[in-house]
């Protein structure tokens, strides 16, 4: 029978994308106040801007994940029409992924074990030549975060595409409610957000909300909060046998 560590009734992982400056300025200090650890799926530009602070965050127990080098997404978005997954081959996306792992290794001294799909997309090419790159990801990472979908029981987790619950623009009540449901169900809930700023960021979680949510988490003895890689390792090693 599967059990979470230390008699916890559920697991929660917080993840943030793109290495945005607001994560360094507000988000990480908030996690540090409550001695909680999160996963950050970084991009080279954001990493460069706050190089020494990212190194400090990783040393302090936060997890650094791969989010590719140049964040290719569908050309249907304005920001990616010149870097569209429709124009990528599997070889090219593989270079994006391995290049980002090389960069992370050169900065932090170890290769990332988790990945987040840019825009939650999992395929490259168009029409008949459209191909999933999930197999490439499965070969290289312990777990990869997608988006959408409900939190899962440990037995049901798809490590090649973890369901994730959006924190961007959510309220404290919604986020605590989602964790209470995960606790009732014995599930692993993975959160995903972008900016972490005071007020109401348009693509992000309000710092006030994040603070209230983390305070709540820190007070629950039966909620296990850990980075994605750590929960994935625990789940995989405790599922079998």
CB of 71 to Zn ion, least distance (A): 6
Radius of gyration, CA atoms only, the chain: 17
The minimum distance between CB 39 and Zn ion, in angstroms, equals: 13
Residue closest to Zn ion (Cβ): 17
> d(Cα 130, Cα 15) in Å, to the nearest integer?
28
Bridge partner list, 191? 14, 165
User: What is the spatial distance between Cα 213 and Cα 92, in angstroms, rounded to a whole number?
Assistant: 39
CB of 116 to Zn ion, least distance (A): 7
18 near Zn ion, judged by CB under 5 A = yes
Cβ proximity to Zn ion: between 18 and 63 the closer is: 18
- Contact indicator for 66, 41 with CB cutoff of 8 Å: yes
Residue 230, interface with Zn ion (CB under 5 A)?
Answer: no
At a CB cut-off of 8 Å and minimum separation 6, what does 185 contact? 10, 151, 153
Q: Compare residues 18 and 195 and give the one whose CB is closer to Zn ion.
A: 18
Q: Least distance in Å: CB of 41 to Zn ion?
A: 7
User: CB-wise, 82 or 219, nearer to Zn ion?
Assistant: 82
C-alpha 225/C-alpha 223 separation (Å) is: 6
Rounded to 5 degrees, φ, ψ at 109 are 85, 0
Work out which of 17, 58, 195, 230 binds Zn ion, going by CB under 5 A: 17
> How many residues lie near Zn ion (CB under 5 A)?
2
Minimum distance, C-beta of residue 81 to Zn ion, in the bound complex (Å): 16
Nearer to Zn ion, 17 or 230 (CB): 17
Between 123 and 176, CB nearer to Zn ion: 123
| Distance in angstroms between the alpha carbons of the first and the last residue of the chain | 9
- Rounded-to-integer distance, Cα 145 and Cα 22, Å: 21
- Near Zn ion in 110-129, by CB under 5 A: none
Residues that bind Zn ion (CB under 5 A): 17-18
């Amino acid at each position: 029978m599967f059990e979470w560590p230390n008699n916890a009734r559920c697991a929660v992982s917080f993840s943030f994308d793109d290495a945005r400056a607001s994560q360094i300025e507000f988000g990480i200090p908030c996690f540090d106040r409550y001695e909680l650890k999160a996963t950050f799926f970084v991009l080279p530009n954001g990493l460069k801007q706050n190089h020494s602070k990212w190194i400090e965050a990783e040393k302090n127990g936060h997890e650094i994940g791969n989010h590719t080098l140049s964040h290719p997404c569908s050309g249907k978005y304005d920001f990616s029409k010149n870097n569209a997954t429709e124009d990528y081959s599997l070889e090219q996306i593989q270079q994006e992924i391995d290049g980002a792992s090389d960069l992370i290794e050169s900065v932090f001294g170890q290769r990332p074990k988790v990945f987040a799909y840019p825009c939650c997309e999992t395929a490259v090419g168009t029409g008949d030549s459209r191909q999933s790159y999930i197999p490439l990801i499965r070969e290289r990472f312990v777990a990869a975060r997608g988006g959408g979908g409900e939190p899962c029981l440990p037995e049901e987790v798809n490590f090649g595409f973890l369901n994730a619950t959006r924190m961007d623009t959510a309220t404290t009540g919604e986020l605590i409610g989602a964790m209470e449901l995960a606790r009732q169900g014995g599930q692993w809930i993975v959160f995903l957000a972008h900016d972490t700023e005071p007020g109401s960021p348009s693509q992000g979680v309000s710092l006030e909300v994040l603070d209230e949510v983390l305070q709540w988490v820190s007070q629950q003895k039966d909620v296990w909060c850990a980075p994605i890689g750590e929960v994935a390792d625990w789940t995989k090693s405790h599922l079998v046998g």
